Amino acid sequence: SAIYIVALLVMIVAGSKVATAATCSVTELMPCSSAFTSSAAPTAQCCTKLKEQSPCLCGYLKNPTLKQYITNPNAKKVTSTCGVPIPNC
């Protein structure tokens, strides 16, 4: 019985990690687009979305199409302003 409960908990935890990974969507960062591409300050909504997507940043950095947006000087200002460090992946 205890083994069954442990197995069930492992499946729940593993399932929640899969669900978390599935929420990675660069389109969630649309509120940051003007701040990433210009010198505009990030909005509160941008910072909220950036914080939500922070576990996804390594995946975005590994994508050659997206990396240029995350590593440009404006994006670095946005992440700094929002208190979201760019990870070393």
pTM value > 0.75: no
Q: Residue ranges of the domains in the chain?
A: 25-82
Return per-residue pLDDT of the chain as tens, 89 residues.
444 444 334 444 444 344 444 489 889 999 998 998 888 999 999 999 999 999 999 999 999 888 888 888 998 899 999 999 888 88
- Structurally, at CATH architecture level, domain 25-82 sits in Orthogonal Bundle (1.10)
Q: 19-48: b or e for each residue (b if 16 or more CB lie within 10 Å)?
A: eeeeeeeeeebebbebbbeeeeebeeebbe
Residue 54 buriedness (CB in 10 A; 0-12 / 13-18 / 19+): middle
pLDDT at 16: 39
Q: How far out from the chain centre does Cα 47 lie?
A: 11
Tokens in use for 56? 């996804």
